[in-house]
């Protein structure tokens, strides 16, 4: 996920819990990394699973009216 100046931190935590099955503490840690570093890793998945998760996050963000961006990148 990529940081922006508009999406509420709590929304990011909820997305991490809902779509990436993170507990609240882990989701909060990832959210803070995204906030501080500009981006953070939500998980490592097979390509098709990653694409589905990106789509789910982007759809949830649009529905909630937030500009949150989520991308998938190959592991090097």
Q: What's the confidence (pLDDT) of residue 17?
A: 98
Confidence band of 8 (pLDDT split at 50, 70, 90): very high
Confidence band of 73 (pLDDT split at 50, 70, 90): very high
CB neighbours (10 Å) of residue 12? 27
Q: What's the confidence (pLDDT) of residue 60?
A: 98
Q: How many angstroms separate the CA atoms of 60 and 42, rounded?
A: 16
**Burial (CB count <10 Å: 0-12, 13-18, 19+), residue 69:** middle
Q: What's the confidence (pLDDT) of residue 76?
A: 77
Q: What's the confidence (pLDDT) of residue 75?
A: 85
Instruction: Give 19-58 pLDDT, tens digit per residue.
Output: 999 999 999 999 999 999 999 999 999 999 999 999 999 9
């Amino acid at each position: 996920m990529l940081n922006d100046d508009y999406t509420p931190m709590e929304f990011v935590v909820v997305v991490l819990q809902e779509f990436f099955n993170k507990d609240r503490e882990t989701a909060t840690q990832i959210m803070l990394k995204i906030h501080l570093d500009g981006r953070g890793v939500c998980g490592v998945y097979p390509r098709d699973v990653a694409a589905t998760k990106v789509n789910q996050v982007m759809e949830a963000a649009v529905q909630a009216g937030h500009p949150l961006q989520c991308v998938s990148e190959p592991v090097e």
